[in-house]
Amino acid sequence: MSAMQNPSFPVFDLGRFEAASATQKKALGREVDHICRGTGFLAVTNHGVPQAVIDAAWSKAKAFFDLPPEEKQRSKAPYKGYPYGYLGPELEALAKSRNVDTPPDLKESFNGGPLSVPPGIEDPEALAFCYAETIWPAEPAGFVEAWKAYYAALEDLALRIMRVFATALGLPETYFDPFLDAPISALRALNYPEQHVAPKPGQIRAGAHTDYGSLTILLPQPGSRGLQIVTPDGEWAEVPPIPGAFVINIGDLMARWTNDRWVSTVHRVVNPPAQQGGKDRRQSMAFFHQPNWNAEITVLGACLAEGEAPKYGPVRSGPYLMGKFKATTK
């Protein structure tokens, strides 16, 4: 099986799908459809991203977060709401995207956007937001090169996963390609520091939220704990890091696209157990895949039963993302 229960988490072999016949791809697509209807989370193995690219990005991100606070602040976002650069501790509350008021999250991040501005993009909001310049750090040496190589590899991986998703929805494999030739995806390196001060009531590492775009590709720290999702029965369940795998989850835009056939699952990152005294630093890298700025996201006919009306009207990818993002920054 390419999609199997690990005993509690589905794992999908991307390389097997890409090498399969058309008939086999349809069968594998049905497995993915089943997963996306249930939890919207799966692990992808045999993904083809070179380990050297992953290791370089991971180690440079860790080295950046190890820098003194004043050094990290040199690459901070220049004003509130600026999407890229360094975002220090307790400046974001993700639960607010679901209208839940909580203390700010116990994390810091470095954020970067598309590697270039495609020809023909003139929308001032697009240029000021998604295509804003990334505020690169001067240290550690090699950070920018490692980051860009990883971003490019993940952009390619996201396109390939979207082809799996198209197959899973009974669409032509390349159906989504025209929506993704100039994606406005963002890469975020996250660091959850050791907790030397007790969290405030209701304060955790990342508040309960859904992601905003088409899909997210997460690289969790090997052996780490704390990432949890809401299961179909309403309980919180741990997402285990699986060696050699990326964790994929559906975002809000894909749920809209599929008329909620697929689940944009609520997830969070909880604090380390109190008995550990907070001495449990956690790192991850999240690639938030987002269709082209001007892509119009309209409920897919393939996801509507005969006579069924769409739950959602059309939205443009970029402005939709902006509205979500602005709700979460402090």
**Mean pLDDT, the chain, whole residue set:** 86
pLDDT of residue 46: 97
Instruction: Concatenate the DSSP letters of all residues of 9-56 into one string.
Output: SEEEEHHHHHHS-HHHHHHHHHHHHHHHHHTSEEEEES----HHHHHH
Determine the pLDDT at residue 6: 40
- pLDDT attached to residue 242: 87
Query: How many other CB atoms sit within 10 Å of the CB of residue 273?
Result: 11
The answer to whether residue 92 scores a pLDDT higher than 70 is no
pLDDT of amino acid 266: 84
CA 130, 205, 154, 42 dihedral sign is negative
pLDDT at residue number 96: 52
Q: What is residue 95's predicted lDDT score, i.e. its pLDDT? A: 45
> Average pLDDT, stretch 157-168?
98
Return the H-helix or E-strand segment holding 192.
strand 186-192
pLDDT, one tens digit per residue, over 209-257 is 788 899 999 998 887 777 887 777 788 888 888 889 999 999 999 999 9
Confidence of residue 330 (pLDDT cuts 50, 70, 90): very low
Of 12-16, 55-59, 64-68, 105-109, the one with minimum mean pLDDT is: 105-109
Which of 276, 252, 260, 258 shows the shortest CA–CA distance to 196? 276
Average pLDDT over residues 276-304: 87
CA dist., res. 322 & res. 330, Å (int): 15
Buried b (16+ CB within 10 A) or exposed e, 129-156: bbbbebbbbeebeebeebbbbbbebbbe
Share of the chain above pLDDT 70, in %: 84
Q: What is the pTM of this model?
A: 0.89
Contact by Cβ (8 Å): 130, 185: no
The neighbouring-strand residues paired with 248 are 42, 217
Residue 162, CA distances (Å) to 15, 113, 146, 173 in order? 14, 19, 24, 8
Tell me which residue has tokens 């989370």.
41
